Each structure stands twice: as structure tokens, then as C-alpha cells.
Amino acid sequence: MERELAASGHALNFSQFITIKALAIGGPTGVTDLARLADLNPGAMTRLLDKLEARGLLARSADPNDRRALNIDLTPAGLAIWQDIDQCGQRVRERALHGMDEATRIQLTRLLEQVRDNLTSED
């Protein structure tokens, strides 16, 4: 994914891609939730957010329901870059799934989700 991003002129790492994707799809989110999605500790996520904010891709605002918390959201520049990097993600997925028919793709996705769920369950 990072090679595809670089080839498209985007200086982003995979964690930054995941963060932008989460914000584009899910809307404003807190640091803790973003850290969990990107599999980073909150301190590393804060540093990642600092870099994306410095590039004008996201903004932090006070959470109206919790004055101790911040909401993170994409700026118009962040939404614009999402349109392009989403295409990068689609190209990588297509390359990874090349030669698989739709039924095989669905089965693979279901199995990978089951593995993920098995590894993240509390049991």
C-alpha cells in the first residue's frame, strides 16, 4: 500500500492511510478510537495526527459532550486527498485478489474476518 501511495505522489504511511480512511468513512472520531483502528498506542497516534494536521488534512475540535476530549475530522483538503488515496487502496485490493472469482473473494473475506474476530475476542 505504501508503494502504491508513493507511486501516486502521496507521502503517507499505512497508519496515516488508515486514519484518513476511518475519518472519511466514519466522520469525526476521538484519538483513542483512531489509535485502536490503526493499531497504535495513543501517544503514537497523537504524533501521527500532529503530522496530518500540519499538512492541513485534519482538524481537532472540542467534543461538545466531553470537554476533556477532542474530535478529529478531515478538512476539505483531507477529504480531497481521500478521493485519490481511496483509488490507491482499490488498486491494491484488486492486485491482491487478482484471479479470484467473486465467490472466492467473499469466502476469503469471511474467513479473514473470522480469524480477526477470533484474535480480538475477550475469551
Domain boundaries, the chain: 2-97
**2-97 classified as CATH 3.40.710.10:** no
Q: Which three cell numbers stand for residue 108?
A: 476469503
Q: pLDDT exceeding 90 applies to what percent of the chain?
A: 76
What is the rounded radius of gyration, in angstroms, for the C-alpha atoms of the chain? 16
| pLDDT reported for residue 87 | 95
Which residue's C-alpha cell is 474467513? 111
| pLDDT reported for residue 123 | 56
Nearest by Cα to 30 from 68, 72, 58, 61: 72
- Model pTM? 0.83
Q: Which three cell numbers stand for residue 80?
A: 480531497
Q: For residues 8 and 95, what is the distance between their CA atoms, to the nearest angstrom?
A: 16
pLDDT category of residue 100 using cuts at 50, 70 and 90: very high
User: Is the predicted pLDDT of residue 113 greater than 70, yes or no?
Assistant: yes
